[in-house]
Amino acid sequence: MATEDTVLSSHRPYLIRAIREWAIDNHLTPQLLVNAEMDEVEVPTEFVEDGQIVLNISPQAVDDLEMGNEYISFSARFRGTSRSVLVPVDAVLAVFDRESRQGMSFPAASAPEDDAKSEKPTEPRKKPNLKLVE
């Protein structure tokens, strides 16, 4: 049986894309909050604060945006210099619009060994208790 985190994690790329589209449709600026300390995150480190970075993913701010199920990649200008960005979808902590800060946050991804330790033993399913009502 899938845990809530597993289900949300599998829906994460779709939710990120949907909220980005919603923001753009409403003339808002979509942004990502990213855990910059996760493996495979490639962002300009000089803009990382407290292990996180906020990235503007509006059409005006990025070039060559690819929002796949595993990674988000694009190039953007940081203080006038074009830089490549690569973000694993699991590193996205939130997607929201800059103006109203509405959007969705996600649980921080944990390491696989942490997941194994935190799983509770599954109890066998009980037989349903049904009554016939006439």
**97 located within any domain:** yes
Give the total number of structural domains in the chain: 1
**9 located within any domain:** yes
**55 located within any domain:** yes
- Per DSSP, the three-state class of 27 is coil
**124 located within any domain:** no
- Nearest CA to 104 out of 37, 3, 13, 6 is that of 13
Q: What is the pLDDT along the chain (134 residues), one digit of tens a residue?
A: 455 555 555 799 999 999 999 999 999 999 999 999 999 999 999 999 999 999 999 999 999 999 999 999 999 999 999 999 999 999 999 999 999 999 999 988 765 444 444 455 555 655 556 566 76
**CA distance linking residue 69 with residue 10, whole number of Å:** 8
Domain of 22 in residue numbering reads as: 4-109
**116 located within any domain:** no
**45 located within any domain:** yes
CATH number of the structural domain spanning residue 67? 2.30.30.220
pLDDT tens readout for residues 16-51: 999 999 999 999 999 999 999 999 999 999 999 999
Give the count of alpha carbons within 13 A of 105, CB side only: 5
**40 located within any domain:** yes
**122 located within any domain:** no
